[in-house]
Amino acid sequence: MPVILPVKDKSPQIPDDCFIAENATIVGDVVMGNQCSIWFSTVVRGDVNYIKIGNKVNVQDGAVIHGTYQTAPTNIGNNVSIGHNALVHGCTIHDNVLVGMGSIIMDGSVVESNCIIAAGAVVTQNTRVESGSIYAGIPAKKIKDISQELISGEINRIADAYIKYSGWFK
């Protein structure tokens, strides 16, 4: 059974059509949209600030979503894929974003819509990731504009695939 716990009278709100892996942890002030999936060994910790997750979001194995007490909640839009072992902390991620495996997005950062954060990238505190771009490196910098083919071929394909994969476990 997943660990789903209230913290300070705030309980996670998880729609029935979401998949939560049996060893995932979701605690506190977490509100999830429809068709989301929280995968194995993932932690979504809404204990020190709120976490809002839109529709059709997948948080892949080993990822951590958290915030900073009183200063940095985490807001995640619709159609977002957060790759394996990524760390999303006290930031805002808009719609149609792919957060690559092992990447880190820090407090106060804003990732605008239709972006890819490359695997292993570190988006440092208070960075604004420009809409329609790919950011990579440490610290993450814009490396190019995103093509329509990458939006449909990667961002949408991965989000749709995780809805299918989660169906295998329901």
Whole-model pTM?
Answer: 0.97
Amino acid at 134: I
* Higher pLDDT, residue 53 or 147: 53
pLDDT tens sequence across 73-102: 999 999 999 999 999 999 999 999 999 999
148 forms beta bridges with none
| Alpha-carbon torsion, ordered 13, 58, 92, 100, to 10 deg | 160
Domains of the chain: 3-167 (2.160.10.10)
